[in-house]
Amino acid sequence: MHRQIFLDTETTGLNPTQGDRIVEIGCVELLGRRLTKNNLHLYINPERDIPKDAEAIHGLTAERLKDEPKFADVAQRFLQYVAGAELIIHNAPFDVGFLDAELERAGLPPLHEHVAGIVDTLEMARQLYPGKRNSLDALCERLGVDNSQRTLHGALLDAELLADVYVALTRGQESLAIGGDEAAAAGAQRQRADFSALQLPVLRASAEELAAHEAVLQVLDKEAGEGGALWRQLESAAPVQEGLLL
């Protein structure tokens, strides 16, 4: 069964090559396009200060995180959780860049070697809505996803919102209900009706209808200009069965 992980990180800044570190990781699991509640949420001691502008975004301080594990201490737990899954990330290069830097610091291979693939929902949104704002907040507003609890950025909450946004973007289903009666009802609604025994009548055009149809075709053929309409060129190769109104 296809396993997808929606992932988000919070960091001390914007550039892992200049010493910025991860402070939080949030992951939400979908199995067969159903939420499982098998989520992963980690706070991480970044082993450095947290600038005020970053603190204003996610609300995490160095004092708050001083007793949390370092990334190297949770690296194997994280990798075991995402192993073999398809990761879905909004603005994936940002999060992957930070995760790769942390993995390299821990002496481990980069993220893509542990997972089945990485999907960037920001790129998906840019293709669907070119020229529009495609931040997570903007997509929530456009697609009707409730983000009223997002007063601060939080990795787990953002991953949960991203899951709802992704479903809306791919139009796979209306919601991410979890098992039980709702799943059974959804399955029942997806059952196909059997029309194999249905006898469909064939309605043949009258002489007047055929004449009116031909008159319209002649006008269109004339307006097509040199060479005439394409269907005239194809009539000799595949003539329409006389008497049927298509």
Q: Which residues pair with 244 in a beta bridge?
A: 204
Cα(17)–Cα(21) distance, rounded to whole angstroms?
A: 9
Residues 95 and 87: beta-carbon distance below 8 Å = no
Can you list the positions of beta strands (E) in 146-203?
none
**Which residue, chain included where needed, has tokens 């791919």?**
170
- Report the candidate in 173, 164, 157 with the shortest Cα–Cα distance to residue 142: 164
Structural tokens at position 159: 């991953």
Active-site option among 58, 90, 114, 153: 153
- Report the candidate in 3, 24, 37 with the shortest Cα–Cα distance to residue 95: 24
Residues 50 and 39: beta-carbon distance below 8 Å = no
Residues 6+ apart with CB under 8 A from 92: 118, 119, 120, 121, 122, 123
Any idea what DSSP says for residue 31? E
Does 90 participate in catalysis according to the annotation?
no
Cα(179)–Cα(186) distance, rounded to whole angstroms?
A: 10
CA-based R_g, the chain, Å: 28
Q: How many residues does the chain have?
A: 246
Q: What is the largest CA-CA distance in the chain?
A: 88
Catalytic residue annotation: 153
